[in-house]
């Protein structure tokens, strides 16, 4: 049981996964609290940037972030664990279009259309498509008639499904998971293009996490698949298990970041 | 083809009442529905305007921050079932009247100029150009209602929100209203119609009764008390009293006529009796004289006796002639009339005509034997022609036309001799109405009796220069014939 009155462990959650499942999050939080022997709080914010700021201010111990902010902030963030999806710590960025658009196969065919990004700090939902456009010597602002952020991968799928946008960039893992849970939504979209694999959004620790807490948390995550409750949560997350990761996993993201002129701060 | 004006009042009045009730109910219901529809529409627009004002406030921040997705999520929630009660689509436009975002991106794609998106959009775009102030405006274009609400932040116009209502919502609400109103109207009609039918029939009943009673006049006159009506002062009462008065007068007239006929008949009998007495009295006087003379002188004079006997015989024969002429035997046996019978009469009368040096025109068109007693018909014809020959001057003309018509046999005898004065026409067929020649005047009476016995009809027309006797005899009447001949 969690120690009553003890300082809670605060974990920042972002829409790198389907963070709108409130019931699921509550159950997972209780699971972690029991394993840690301390209360656990999940902190959710509208954008990655807000979570990163909270962590910078020591208001979060851990966060599940995209590889892109991790790469940018890796001077003070430590890699805690990386989820394995389909056996590998990798995922892709998907270019999705409305299902009735059967022609588009690359983002460069969407000139002067309306485009939906997920989050300006998302690798799959912004960095990768921007990188592709920069390789074509253009930028989202010049290339599209209009682009906007939904601050959630799931909402990018909605924007494209409802045809508010003619195309969108989305986390492939989120799209695949949605295809299992909400096929009526993903059915109205079509994956037009898939990126090369990138490092899966990792769990990171901030300066506020003590080495003991870091180690304890890491042990819990890495062992989650070994007990029935933990395996159940992983199944719901559409993940295999958590593994130790290395910064090298995110080298491609760093390379793209440099290429579009936004080197790590 | 039955026309409305020919229908009995028994149905006409209830029918009119029904139509009146129906039209009244329909007009009343329609006007109420129209008002209800206007109220409904106004309420909806008012509600929509208030709701738009609230919604536009929540859109200020997303539009100010150019957060397109947030703005979309707000308007989408407002149009999702249960979110906004009636809006079918919401479109946001920027101050340059380009689409900011719409819940219907297919029709209103992002950044497209509003006026390029169809007829309705063009009208809305030009309307927005003329709008000022922060109030909502509603406009109906085609079958849709639009509520246009400005989105202002601190006096700066960020754009407009265009709420689109399809009329289907109004129509379904209105259809419900219409249905219930119609049902209520029908129910009321169901209650009122039997009553109006009943009253209509009650109103028509006296009229129908009156018409029935009046319709009988001619054949009979309804007896006193047959006409029943309410003794009221309205028109029906007036008509009822007038008709009752008319019946009274008719009955009185009928009585008078009957009395007159009776006294006339008595007068005729008087004249007849007088005539008979006169005809018998004349020879009787001569005969009594002869007997007196014989008693005084003739017991020994065989010549006087013989003369007296002869005188008595002639006197008695005259009386017998008179009496036998009065006994018309219509049913005397006879053979069927043939064209030869008519020709016999012609031959018989020729000498008479020659005596008066009158011209006798004879035209008989009987084809064959016809079932009429020859003796009687011949007697009628002889009487008429003899009368005519009597009437004509020397060198005058008597014409005789005998033929068949659809009704039966016709005989027309014309002459251009002395005409019969109107005063005599009325008594012409009575016995002993002698003419100035002093003939006993039984000829026409006998003719009339025969024609009547045969079921026929005799008429006379007379004016200076032309007197026409016409006889029609039906063929259908069964007359004993053949058996005796």
- The interface predicted TM-score (ipTM) is 0.85
- The pLDDT score that the predictor gives to residue B83 is 46
Residue A264 falls inside a structural domain: no
Q: Is residue A4 part of a domain?
A: no
pLDDT of residue B400: 92
Cα–Cα distance for residue pair B441/B433, rounded to 1 Å: 5
Cα separation, B110 vs B140, in Å, equals 24
Look at A159 and B69 and tell me if their CB atoms are within 8 Å.
yes
| DSSP at B337 | E
Q: Does residue B326 sit in helix, strand or coil?
A: helix
B402 bridge partner residues: B364, B411
Task: Report residue A197: phi and psi, to 5°.
Answer: -70, 145
Cα A71 to Cα A68, A121, A258, distances in angstroms: 5, 11, 11
Quote the domain boundaries for residue A240. 9-88+199-259
Name chain A contacts of B69, Cβ cutoff 8 Å.
Answer: 116, 148-151, 155, 159
**A2 falls within a domain:** no
Q: Which residues of B touch A146 (CB under 8 A)?
A: 68, 110-111
Together in a domain, A149 and A185: yes
SS3 B293: helix
What's the pLDDT at A265? 36
Question: Does residue B44 contact residue B168 with C-beta atoms inside 8 Å?
Answer: no
Q: Are residues A212 and A229 in the same domain?
A: yes
Residues A46 and A74 in one domain: yes
Contact A159 B106 (CB under 8 A): no
Indicate the SS3 state at residue B477: coil
C-alpha closest to that of B161 among B117, B99, B219: B99
Better-predicted residue by pLDDT, B299 or B67: B67
Does the residue A230 lie in any domain? yes
Q: Does A145 touch chain B (CB under 8 A)?
A: yes
Higher-confidence position of B363 and B222: B363
B80: Cα separation from own chain's centroid: 70
Sort out which chain B residues have CB atoms less than 8 A from A97's CB and list them.
Answer: none
- State residue A81's pLDDT score: 95
Residues A113 and A185 in one domain: yes
- CB neighbour list of residue B51: distance below 8 Å, 6 or more residues apart: B84, B85
Tokens read off for A222: 């890495």
- Could you tell me which residues are beta bridge partners of residue B151? B159
Q: Is A148 within 8 Å of B105 when comparing Cβ atoms? A: no
Q: What is the DSSP letter of B98?
A: B
Do A176 and A118 share a structural domain? yes
Task: Output the six-digit token pair for B481.
Answer: 């014939």
Average pLDDT over residues B356-371: 87
Q: Pick the closest to residue B376 from B275, B268, B458 (CA basis).
A: B458
Comparing A176-180, B97-101, B284-288, the range with the smallest average pLDDT is B284-288
In a domain, A265, yes or no: no
Residue B132: the pLDDT is: 79
Q: Measured between beta carbons, which residues in chain A are less than 8 angstroms from residue B76?
A: 162
Q: Give me the pLDDT at residue B484, please.
A: 38
Cβ-contact A198, A252 below 8 angstroms: yes
Whether residue A172 sits in one domain with residue A104: yes
CB contact under 8 A, A116 and B111: no
Task: Give the model's confidence band at B84: pLDDT under 50 very low, under 70 low, under 90 confident, else very high.
Answer: very low
Residues from chain A contacting residue B72 (CB–CB below 8 Å): 159, 164
| pLDDT for the residue A263 | 45
pLDDT for A174 equals: 92
- pLDDT digit string, tens, across residues B385-411: 888 888 888 888 999 999 888 888 999
Question: In the listed set A172, A195, A218, which residue is the last one of a domain according to the structure?
Answer: A195
The answer to whether residues A113 and A150 touch, using CB atoms and an 8 Å cutoff, is: no
Can you list the residues of chain A whose pLDDT is less than 70? 1-5, 262-265
Asked if B467 contacts B413 with a C-beta cutoff of 8 angstroms, the reply is: no
Q: What is the mean pLDDT of chain B?
A: 83
Domain B4-174 and domain B336-474, same fold? Reply is no
A114 contacts B69? CB cut-off 8 A: no
Per-residue tokens: A260: 């579009």
A37 and A160 in a single domain? The answer is no
Of B72, B76, B111, the CB nearest to A145: B111
8 Å CB contact of A146 and B68? yes
Pick the residue from chain B with its C-alpha nearest to A117. B69
Question: Is the same domain home to A184 and A204?
Answer: no
Across B208-226, average pLDDT: 82
Of A177, A195, A213, the residue at which a domain comes to its end is A195
Question: Would you state the pLDDT for residue B333?
Answer: 62
Q: CB of A159 within 8 Å of any CB in chain B?
A: yes
Report the C-alpha gap between B324 and B330 in whole angstroms: 13
CB-closest option in A145, A155, A163 to B69: A155
Q: Which CATH number fits domain B4-174: 3.40.50.300, 3.30.450.20, 3.50.50.60, 3.30.43.10?
A: 3.30.450.20
Nearest chain B residue (CA) to A116: B69
Distance CA B152, CA B241 (A): 86
Task: Give B434's pLDDT tier (boundaries 50, 70, 90).
Answer: low
Angle A128-135/A251-259 helices, nearest 10 degrees?
50
Dihedral (Cα; B186, B190, B195, B201), 10-degree rounding: 100
What's A186's domain CATH number?
Answer: 3.40.190.10
| B99 exposure class (CB count in 10 Å sphere: 0-12, 13-18, 19+) | buried
Is A150's Cβ below 8 Å from some Cβ in B?
yes
The number of domains in chain A is: 2
pLDDT digit string, tens, across residues A95-112: 999 999 999 999 999 999
Question: Cα-flanking dihedrals φ and ψ of residue B99, to 5°?
Answer: -65, 125
Q: How far apart are CA B206 and CA B233, in angstroms?
A: 14
C-alpha B244/C-alpha A68 separation (Å) is 117
Q: What is the tens place of the pLDDT at every residue in A39-91?
A: 999 999 888 999 999 999 999 999 999 999 999 999 999 999 999 999 999 99
Residue A13 phi, psi (nearest 5): -115, 140
Contact yes or no for A160/A167 (Cβ under 8 A)? yes
Distance from CA of A117 to the nearest CA of B (A): 10
Is residue B423 within 8 Å of residue B304, measured between CB atoms?
Answer: no
> Is B118 a residue whose pLDDT tops 70?
yes
Give the strands of the sheet with A114-117, arranged side by side. A146-149, A114-117, A167-171, A93-98, A189-194
Task: Report d(CA A159, CA A143) in Å as an integer.
Answer: 19
Residues A66 and A113 in one domain: no
Tell me how far apart the alpha carbons of residues A62 and A43 are, in angstroms, rounded to a whole number: 10
Q: How many residues does chain B have?
A: 485
Strand partners, A97: A190
Q: List the one residue out of B116, B92, B117 whose CA is nearest residue B107.
A: B117
pLDDT of B212 higher than 60: yes
Same domain, A97 and A165: yes
Residue A97 in contact with partner chain B when CB distance is under 8 A: no
Tell which CATH architecture fits domain B336-474: 2-Layer Sandwich (3.30)
* Angle made by CA atoms A140, A144, A146, in degrees to the nearest 5: 100
> Can you tell me the mean pLDDT for B350-356?
85
Task: Spell out the domain ranges in chain B.
Answer: 4-174, 336-474
Contact A155 B106 (CB under 8 A): no
């Amino acid at each position: 049981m969690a120690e009553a009155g003890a300082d809670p462990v605060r974990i920042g959650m972002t829409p790198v996964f389907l963070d709108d499942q409130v019931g699921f999050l509550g159950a997972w939080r209780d699971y972690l609290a029991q394993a840690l022997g301390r209360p656990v709080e999940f902190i959710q914010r509208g954008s990655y940037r807000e979570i990163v700021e909270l962590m910078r201010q020591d208001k979060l111990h851990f966060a599940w972030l995209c590889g892109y902010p991790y790469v940018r902030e890796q001077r003070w963030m430590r890699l805690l664990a990386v989820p394995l999806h389909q056996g590998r710590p990798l995922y892709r960025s998907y270019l999705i279009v409305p299902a009735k658009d059967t022609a588009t196969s690359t983002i460069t065919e969407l000139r002067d259309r309306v485009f939906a990004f997920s989050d300006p700090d998302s690798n799959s939902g912004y960095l990768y498509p921007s990188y592709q456009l920069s390789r074509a010597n253009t930028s989202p602002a010049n290339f599209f008639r209009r682009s906007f952020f939904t601050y959630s991968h799931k909402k990018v799928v909605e924007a494209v499904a409802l045809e508010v946008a003619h195309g969108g960039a989305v986390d492939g893992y989120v799209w695949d998971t949605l295809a299992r849970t909400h096929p009526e939504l993903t059915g109205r979209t079509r994956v037009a293009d898939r990126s090369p694999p990138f490092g899966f959004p990792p769990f990171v620790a901030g300066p506020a996490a003590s080495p003991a807490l870091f180690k304890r948390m890491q042990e819990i995550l890495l062992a989650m698949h070994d007990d029935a409750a933990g395996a159940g949560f992983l199944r719901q997350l559409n993940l295999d298990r958590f593994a130790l990761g290395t910064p090298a996993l995110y080298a491609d993201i760093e390379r793209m970041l440099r290429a579009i002129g936004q080197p790590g701060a | 083809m039955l026309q409305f004006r020919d229908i009995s009042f028994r149905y006409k009045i209830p029918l009119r009442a029904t139509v009146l009730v129906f039209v009244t109910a329909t007009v009343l219901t329609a006007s109420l529905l129209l008002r209800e529809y206007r109220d409904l529409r106004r309420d909806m627009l008012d509600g929509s305007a208030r709701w738009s004002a609230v919604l536009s406030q929540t859109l200020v921040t997303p539009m100010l921050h150019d957060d397109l997705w947030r703005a979309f999520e707000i308007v989408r929630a407002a149009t999702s079932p249960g979110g906004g009660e009636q809006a079918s689509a919401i479109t946001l436009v920027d101050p340059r009247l380009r689409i900011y975002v719409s819940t219907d991106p297919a029709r209103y794609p992002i950044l497209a100029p509003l006026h390029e998106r169809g007829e309705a959009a063009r009208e809305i775009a030009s309307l927005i150009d003329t709008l000022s102030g922060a109030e909502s405006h509603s406009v109906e274009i085609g079958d849709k209602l639009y509520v246009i609400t400005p989105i202002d932040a601190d006096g700066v116009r960020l754009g407009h929100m265009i709420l689109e209502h399809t009329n289907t919502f109004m129509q379904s609400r209105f259809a419900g209203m219409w249905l219930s109103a119609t049902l209520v109207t029908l129910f009321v009609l169901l209650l009122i119609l039997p009553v109006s039918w009943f009253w209509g029939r009650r109103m028509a009943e006296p009229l129908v009764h009156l018409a029935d009673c009046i319709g009988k006049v001619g054949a009979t006159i309804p007896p006193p008390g047959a006409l029943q009506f309410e003794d009221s002062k309205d028109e029906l009462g007036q008509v009822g009293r007038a008709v009752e008065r008319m019946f009274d007068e008719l009955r009185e007239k009928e009585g008078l006529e009957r009395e007159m006929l009776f006294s006339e008949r008595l007068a005729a009998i008087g004249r007849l009796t007088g005539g008979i007495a006169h005809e018998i009295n004349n020879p009787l006087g001569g005969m009594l004289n002869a007997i007196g003379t014989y008693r005084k002188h003739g017991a020994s004079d065989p010549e006087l006796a013989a003369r007296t006997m002869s005188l008595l015989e002639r006197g008695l024969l005259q009386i017998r002639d008179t009496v036998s002429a009065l006994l018309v035997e219509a049913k005397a046996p006879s053979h069927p009339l043939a064209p030869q019978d008519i020709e016999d009469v012609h031959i018989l009368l020729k000498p008479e005509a020659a005596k008066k040096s009158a011209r006798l025109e004879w035209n008989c068109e009987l084809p064959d034997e016809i079932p009429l007693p020859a003796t009687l018909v011949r007697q009628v014809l002889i009487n008429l022609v003899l009368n005519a020959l009597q009437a004509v001057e020397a060198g005058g003309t008597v014409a005789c036309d005998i033929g068949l018509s659809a009704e039966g046999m016709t005989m027309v005898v014309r002459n251009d001799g002395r005409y019969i004065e109107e005063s005599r026409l009325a008594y012409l067929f009575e016995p002993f109405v002698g003419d100035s020649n002093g003939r006993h005047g039984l000829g026409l009476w006998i003719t009339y009796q025969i024609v009547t016995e045969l079921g026929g009809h005799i008429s006379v027309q007379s004016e200076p220069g032309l007197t026409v006797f016409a006889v029609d005899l039906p063929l259908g009447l069964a007359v004993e014939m053949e058996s005796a001949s």
